[in-house]
Amino acid sequence: MNKEPSKRPPLWLLPNLLSLDAPLVAVVWMWIIAKSMRVVYVDSHSYWLLAGAVWCVYVLDRILDVKRFKGELGEMSQRHQFHWRYRHLLLPVVAGVILYSVYSALNVASAALLTAGVSGVGMCLLYLLVRKFDQGEIAYTKNFIAAITFSFGVSAPIVVESVQLPKGIYDLWFHFTSSSDADFLLALRHGVANFFLMTFSTVGIVFASSSLPFLFGLLCFLNITGIDLWEKSRRSEREDEKEACETILATGLLLLAAYAVYLAAYKLSEYERPLCYVVMVSAALLYLINKKRSFFYLEAQRVLADFAMILPLPLFWILN
């Protein structure tokens, strides 16, 4: 890998470069979903644990992206360049956040919330597995798993406290009757099996509890995929390919808006409907960014895409 570029980024790009945008989106939407599902109280440490987990995942993911990249560092986005350049500072901070989060989870969080957190780790492992095989220019499967994982992390702390989970964190613990290798291997197999059963059952319960987590997951999927399509459009010199990228994203956003309208009209209660309106506004903003993308730098488009996820917050507050 050649010498790293030394161009200093603008100040408005720093939240994106520091991976602070995703945690902000996560805590905002956790509040929105909690209000929509009429959850009166969510402990503040749930927000902090969510923000810390999301930040750590994004930082590590971007550093791993650079490590696996075989080209020049300058060919990657500024956020990847930034994370690689300052990895020796970011990685100790990530380690500190992880240690604090584990300590807080073990000493403050309930068993249900701890179950949701460990299940989130299982979803992250699934994401890492999928991204290893989904190497397409636009990795739709990887993006979908990433979006569902993000939505699960945002929604699970709200849902799991009020339902009975078929598999919990304590199902992973076993009492060994002897120290023989056979007993250890049997316990290990049972532990791995229970881990996956716990993960998928918890994910199923969260997304079966309401249509809202899945609706939010679809919005996240189009947000992530939109950025990939914008990058592909910038790299391409063919006009038909550029138009195809715009059309794919526009079609997805229109289908999302139509699904939100359907849910608001026929499936959801009056308390849940404002979230559908917020999703529609976010989709409209992403559609506008997509339509006018030639007016913005690619890095600005990424920031605007995150801004589109947060801007409708006052609308939800008014409607709620």
**Tokens at 120, concatenated:** 């989130």
What pTM was estimated for this model as a whole? Answer: 0.88
Residue 78 covered by a domain: yes
**Alpha carbon 77 to its chain's center:** 19
What pLDDT, on a 0 to 100 scale, did the predictor assign at position 172? 67
Residue 155 covered by a domain: no
Residue 146 covered by a domain: no
Among the candidates 73, 94, 109, a domain finishes at 109
What pLDDT, on a 0 to 100 scale, did the predictor assign at position 111? 82
Residue 242 covered by a domain: yes
Residue 260 covered by a domain: yes
Residue 137 covered by a domain: no
Q: Which domain holds residue 286?
A: 210-320
**What CA–CA distance (Å, rounded) separates 153 from 50?**
7
Residue 46 covered by a domain: yes
**Tokens at 97, concatenated:** 């956040």
What pLDDT, on a 0 to 100 scale, did the predictor assign at position 148? 96
Among the candidates 83, 109, 135, a domain finishes at 109
**Tokens at 100, concatenated:** 């604090």
Other beta carbons within 10 angstroms of residue 157's beta carbon come to 27
**What CA–CA distance (Å, rounded) separates 90 from 86?**
6
Contact by Cβ (8 Å): 74, 141: no
Q: Which of 209, 225, 205 is nearest to 272 (CA)?
A: 209
Residue 272 covered by a domain: yes
Show Cβ contacts of residue 60 under 8 Å, excluding neighbours closer than 6 positions: 94
Among the candidates 48, 83, 109, a domain finishes at 109
- Burial (CB count within 10 angstroms: exposed 0-12, middle 13-18, buried 19+), residue 27: middle
What tens-digit pLDDT sequence spans the chain (320 residues)?
Answer: 434 444 666 777 888 888 999 999 999 999 999 999 888 778 788 898 899 999 999 999 889 888 887 777 777 778 888 899 899 999 999 999 999 888 887 888 788 888 888 899 899 999 988 988 877 778 899 999 999 999 999 999 998 887 777 777 766 665 444 445 556 666 677 777 788 888 899 999 999 989 999 999 999 999 999 998 988 888 777 888 888 888 999 999 999 999 999 999 999 888 889 999 999 999 999 999 998 877 878 788 888 898 899 988 888 887 77
What pLDDT, on a 0 to 100 scale, did the predictor assign at position 41? 78
> How many domains does the chain divide into?
2
